[in-house]
Amino acid sequence: MAKGYWVAFAEVHDPEGYEAYRRANAAAFAKYGARFLVRGGPFEAPEGSPRSRVVVIEFPSWEAALACYRSPEYQAAAALRQGRSTLDLVIVQGWDGPQPGEG
């Protein structure tokens, strides 16, 4: 079964206020089996214009990734983020097929 991923590009305008969102989203992420693969950190952007923070979260399935976002727990957390950050978020299904060189 293909995993699901959240890929987010964020600009945090109010770091102290954003901390409340970060604490609140932990409940939803734990409930739906989320695992951070990328959580900020240095990056290069050879093409395009991403925001200052890049986050990639892995879920055990595409369905879990969607359910987490739609859950009351996450929506309550997301309300805390409003006005404190700007976010571009994509929820994408992972690739579970052959890889280059595998025939």
Over residues 39-63, the pLDDT tens digits come to: 989 999 999 988 999 999 999 999 9
Mean pLDDT of the chain: 95
pLDDT at 103: 66
The verdict on domain 4-93 having CATH code 3.30.70.100 is yes
Structure tokens of 89? Answer: 């978020």
- pTM: predicted TM-score of the whole model, two decimal places: 0.92
d(C-alpha 103, C-alpha 34), whole Å: 31
Are the beta carbons of 6 and 91 closer than 8 angstroms? yes
In 3D space, the residue among 70, 76, 89 whose CA is nearest the CA of residue 5 turns out to be 89
- Provide the residue ranges of all domains of the chain, joining segments of one domain with +: 4-93
